[in-house]
Amino acid sequence: MTANPDASPRPVRIVIVDDHPVVRDGLRSVLERNPDFEVAGEAENGEEIVARYGQFAPDIVLMDLRMPRLGGVAAIKRLLALDPDARILVLTTYDNDSDVVDALAAGATGYLLKDISREELTRALHAAAAGQSVLSPAVTSRVLGRMRKPTRGPLSQRELEVLRLIADGATNRQVAATLFISQATVKTHLLHVYEKLGVNDRAAAVSEAHKRNLFS
């Protein structure tokens, strides 16, 4: 049987994941006005989308970053463990370096801010459906700025303390408790360490520190 060349392509199936019902309602309203998209379902936290991902069978997960029970970064990792081809777009109000880096490192397809226009969201979803990475303009500037920033001087004493604890196997929470600082501060120190050592993750930072004999 020959396929009908005039048949419309299947709409892109999207699941909305956000802990605020008003946000989910607003996104559903926007998406359902576009015949290119179909809202396959909603979830109010990362734990729910992980549990129901197979049931929804989405093409794209449009997900907030900070949610109760299971946040966006952890959910991204679990979803990709379930489906390595999962396409996950972060849609959040948070644009600090730590959140952006963590989400992209976890495997997010893109990172969008909630101040984008309806047209920008539509373009981003089409791009993600085509397998392209998507970043809000403000996020792109941050990422490019980090990539272009030259490796700076030696690690500070506090950065060395954080990295030494990481090398010993401590989590961010454990580092924060040991040094009496917040987990956000730990992440900031790690970002500075990555920049100065020219690496992108914890394991590479520890390896590079050993090569440079920073722990001696």
Task: Kindly give the confidence (pLDDT) of every residue in the chain, 216 residues in length, as a single tens digit, with 9 standing for 90 and above.
Answer: 445 555 568 999 999 999 999 999 999 999 999 999 999 999 999 999 999 999 999 999 999 999 998 999 999 999 999 998 999 999 999 877 778 888 888 888 889 999 889 999 999 999 999 888 888 877 766 665 554 454 567 899 999 999 999 999 999 889 999 999 888 788 888 888 988 888 878 888 899 899 888 987
Spell out the domains of the chain, with CATH numbers in brackets.
12-146 (3.40.50.2300), 157-211 (1.10.10.10)
Q: Tokens 């699941």 map to which residue?
A: 15
What is the Cα–Cα distance from 115 to 139, expressed in whole angstroms? 12
Strand 12-17 with 37-43, pairing: parallel
β-pairing, 88-92 with 60-63? parallel
Which pTM was predicted? 0.65
Q: What is the DSSP letter of 178?
A: H
* Cα 192–Cα 153–Cα 173 angle in degrees, nearest 5: 25
- Residue pair 107/128 in contact by the 8 Å Cβ criterion: no
CB atoms within 10 A of CB 9: 6
pLDDT at 200: 78
Helix, strand or coil, per DSSP, at residue 15: strand
Phi, psi of 19 (to 5 degrees): -80, -5
